[in-house]
Structure 1
C-alpha cells in the first residue's frame, strides 16, 4: 500500500496508544461468526475509544488516501497499490520459476 501523510498520522496515533502489537494479533485471528475472542476484543471499551480516535483522523484530513503531489486522489492511490501488488506477484512468480498469466 502506498504511504501517505494521512496514513502515517493514523499509524502514529495507533503507536501512541501502544496498540500496534495487539492489532497485529487481531488481524491474525480468523473472522468466522461465533469467534468469541474476536467479538470480546472488539467490544472492549479501549477498542471503542481507539476507533473513535481513528475516525477523527479522516475528518481532520479527508484526503487520507491521496499520495502527496498526485492530483488523482483515491483513484491514483488505488492504482499505485494495484501496480505494486502486480509487480510483487510477478517478481514472486519469477523467483519460484512460475509464470504469470
Structure 2
C-alpha cells in the first residue's frame, strides 16, 4: 500500500515538474517543488520510473522501485514541501487563485500558438 501511495504521489509531483516546460505559470510553491526534485537529482530518474501509461510489467517494476528508501524519502520530502507551501496554483499578486493561474496558463499557450 505504501509503494502505491509513493508511486501515485510521485506521479503527481512529476506531472507538475514537466508541465513547467509546457508554459505552465511558475509560482514560488511550484518552483520549490521542482527545486526539491532537482536537489535530489531525481528529475531524470522520475522520468524513467513514472510512466503515464505503464504496461502491467512496468507498473509492477515501478511499484517495486517505490518500496525502496530513495523514492519513499523523495515522496516524503515533496509532501513536506507541499505542506510548507500549499499554494502551488496561486500566482503572487493575483487575488483569484487557481482561476487566475488557469487563465494565465491558457493565455501563455495561446500566445505561443499565435507566435507560430
**TM-score, normalized by length of structure 1?**
0.71
Higher helix share: 2
The range that moved more, 39-48 or 53-62, is 39-48
* C-alpha displacement of 1:76: 1.4
* C-alpha displacement of 1:86: 4.5
Q: Provide the residue aligned with 2:39 in structure 1.
A: 16
Aligned residues: 92
Regions of 4+ moved over 6 Å: none
- C-alpha change, 1:28 and 1:87, in structure 2 (3 Å) is farther
Runs of 5+ consecutive residues of structure 1 not aligned to the other structure: 96-101
Q: Provide the residue aligned with 1:37 in structure 2.
A: 61
Q: Residues 24-80 of structure 1, C-alpha deviation per residue, up to 9 Å, x if partnerless?
A: 222456424442322222222211111111011121112121111111112211222
* Root-mean-square deviation over aligned CA pairs: 2.3
| 3-state SS, counterpart of residue 68 of structure 1 | coil
**TM-score, normalized by length of structure 2?**
0.64
| 3-state SS, counterpart of residue 11 of structure 1 | helix
Larger Rg: 1
The range that moved more, 49-58 or 78-87, is 78-87
Contact kept, 8 Å, 1:2 with 1:81, in 2: the verdict is yes
Runs of 5+ consecutive residues of structure 2 not aligned to the other structure: 1-23
